Amino acid sequence: MQYLDASSLLHIENHQLMRAINLDFKPENDANGFFYLRVLNLIKTTNKKGNINYEGDWEEPYFELKTKNRLEIVKKIEQLVLQLPPYKNNN
């Protein structure tokens, strides 16, 4: 249970692919909860000082998976890391 109270269990960003993989456990601290896996498209922004930031599009994830099965999550993350296509922002 000590690992289930974090807002994100895993967050990986790949700036070349412009994608992020995020894993949460919902609801936090509930042993009867579920894993919530999302792939986010990243948007590159530059602030006034010229620093580059990457913002995830949390409103429209590229992919979502909700499951109680830990092994299903592990398998899906492994698949995504190897096969995730790059995000092409058409703006």
- Where are any strands of DSSP class E within 5-87? 10-14, 19-26, 34-46, 52-56, 63-67
In terms of Cβ atoms closer than 10 Å to its own Cβ (0-12, 13-18, 19+), residue 75 is: exposed
Instruction: Give the model's confidence band at 1: pLDDT under 50 very low, under 70 low, under 90 confident, else very high.
Output: very low
Non-local (6+) Cβ contacts of 5 within 8 A are 28, 29
77 has a pLDDT exceeding 70: yes
Query: pLDDT per residue over 27-72, tens digit each?
Result: 887 888 999 999 999 999 999 999 999 999 999 999 999 999 999 9
- H-state helical runs in the chain: 70-83
